[in-house]
Amino acid sequence: MNASINIPKHDLLIDGKRVPPGTGNYSTILNPATEEVIAYVASGSARDVDVAVRAARAALKVWNGIRAAERGMILNRLADLMEKNQDELISLESTNAGKPIASVRRQDMPAAIDTTRYYAGWTDKIMGQVVPARTDALTYTVREPVGVVGAIVPWNFPIMIGMWKIAPALACGCTMVVKPAELTPLTAIRIGELALEAGMPPGVLNIVTGRGSVVGDAMVAHPGVDKVTFTGSPNIGRGIMQGAASNFKRITLELGGKSANIIFKDADLDNAVRAGASGVFFNAGQVCSAGSRILVQNEVYDEVVDRLIQRAKEIRIGDTVQQDTIMGPLVSSGQMKTVLDYIDIGKKEGASCIYGGERVDRKGFYVEPTIFTNVEHEMRISQEEIFGPVASVIRFKDEADAIRIANGTAFSLAAGVWSGDIGRVHRVAHALKAGTVWINTYGFTDVRLPWGGTGESGFGREHGEAALENFTEPKTIWLSLTERLGSPR
């Protein structure tokens, strides 16, 4: 029997229907842990995007014709269905993105459901204000949906980051065309189906899979898209900003990071090293807020390095379906090559690769947890986002030195500070150029707290109430209380 008979083939999801791509082409989706083909997925075209945008535009009226509280119930039903189908979603996410299954169950899946429920609760609380500007007029604001939203999602947390965009946009009354990353589209397709099952009208949530340079580009260029919400790399983000200028689209960009995790000599070293190691090696380092620069005060540098090596040795690399696997593969052979190239660059720049540094000798795109010492702040491995399990351990002398090094990259997404001195942790937290600072912990996010950065880390904030501003426009309304309004009274 031909094995390919059992490999699922996925069409686009437009206007509530599965439709084949205009090109007739399907791309091959691999499991990065086994290098086996797990699905064929439609390669959408600019024309498919156009059809999806038109469907989303037509659905705006329908979606906003539904009572806000009812829209919240539909989102809550979607969350219920995600919960009910979570074994399937977890398995899809794990095999598609190469994530250890236990980690998806513990982190990605609950976060995706929590995000959906959180924004379901916002639908009927998106309020304007009555502003007492004058006595002879009733002046107030309402918040209207921005319209059709194009969402472009990366491959490192497909379902979680997907819902970070889908849930608030839909809660605000927007309709959407979602483009998952070409490598990891499987959970987005399923979410689109579950949304229909939850009672979401056709056309509200369209999923157009395909290449970024085709589908993503077409979304950014399309005059019918009012807003693009993008998470991905700074280079693509820059192109999106330029493309969005064509019709003055609103955009939010969640881009890269090169976060510093600063360990002072008076820190609780057990905790600092444990969180420092998971801060950089979690998800095989494919995390925008990875603490990939571990800054360590001179006095404890050697001890921290020894302990980091010990931690790296304890990381169980393995098949993603095994419950006790801690680290899986990188998402693709291309990403593996990028990471191995950076390891070479680090060695050539004169840093010492004291642990790891090699591809793991097994099937799949696995790279060992890797630790560099003797890293100078100016080196490329200290300045550029590697997006793999590579830690640069950098020395610092004192507080001022640590802040200077931490703030010395083009990124500013997140940072960590470890110290027992309450004054110091606050001083440093305030001085750090970062959208999020963790004190004596590392790496947590919560949908109730704003998330984002500045500079090469992008702009705008996701999560919390801040995200509602991304998907609404304030409108000011004047109502004259007299026959004729004159000068202000």
Chain residues in the site for ligand NAD (CB under 6 A): 152-156, 161, 179, 181-182, 212-213, 216-217, 220, 231-233, 236, 239-240, 254-257, 288, 385, 387, 413, 457-458
Q: Which is nearer to ligand NAD, 189 or 255 (CB)?
A: 255
CA-based end-to-end distance of the chain? 84
**How many residues are present in the chain?**
489
Instruction: Kindly tell me the sign of the dihedral angle through the C-alpha atoms of 125, 128, 131, 136.
Output: negative
Structure-token pair, residue 71? 């829209």
**Which residue, 260 or 288, has its beta carbon nearer to ligand NAD?**
288
**Smallest Cα–Cα separation from 472: which of 64, 152, 154?**
64
Cβ proximity to ligand NAD, 143 vs 165, nearer residue = 165
The one catalytic residue in 174, 288, 456, 462 is: 288
Q: Is 378 a catalytic residue?
A: no
Smallest gap from residue 268 Cβ to ligand NAD (A): 28
How far apart (Å, rounded) are the C-alpha atoms in residues 202 and 396? 56
Minimum CB–partner distance for residue 31 and ligand NAD (Å): 17
| Residue among 373 and 457 whose Cβ is closer to ligand NAD | 457
Q: Kindly state the smallest distance separating residue 251's Cβ from ligand NAD, in Å.
A: 11
CB 329 within 8 A of CB 366: yes
Q: Report the nearest approach of ligand NAD to the CB of residue 82 (Å).
A: 20
Instruction: State the catalytic residue, choosing from 93, 182, 254, 456.
Output: 254
Q: Which residues of 366-393 are buried (b: 16+ CB within 10 A; e: fewer)?
A: bbbbbbbbbbebebebbebbbbbbbbbb
State the helix-helix crossing angle for 158-171 and 68-84, rounded to 10 degrees: 160
Q: Is 288 a catalytic residue?
A: yes
Q: Decide whether 93 or 385 has the Cβ nearer to ligand NAD.
A: 385
Contact 123, 72 (CB under 8 A): yes
In angstroms, give the least distance from the CB of 129 to ligand NAD: 30
**Residue with tokens 């996925």, as numbered in its chain:** 10
Give whichever of 239 and 450 is closer to ligand NAD, judged by the CB atom.
239
CB of 120 to ligand NAD, least distance (A): 22
Return d(Cα 40, Cα 132) in angstroms, integer.
58
CB count in 10 Å sphere of residue 449: 12
Report the catalytic residues: 254, 288
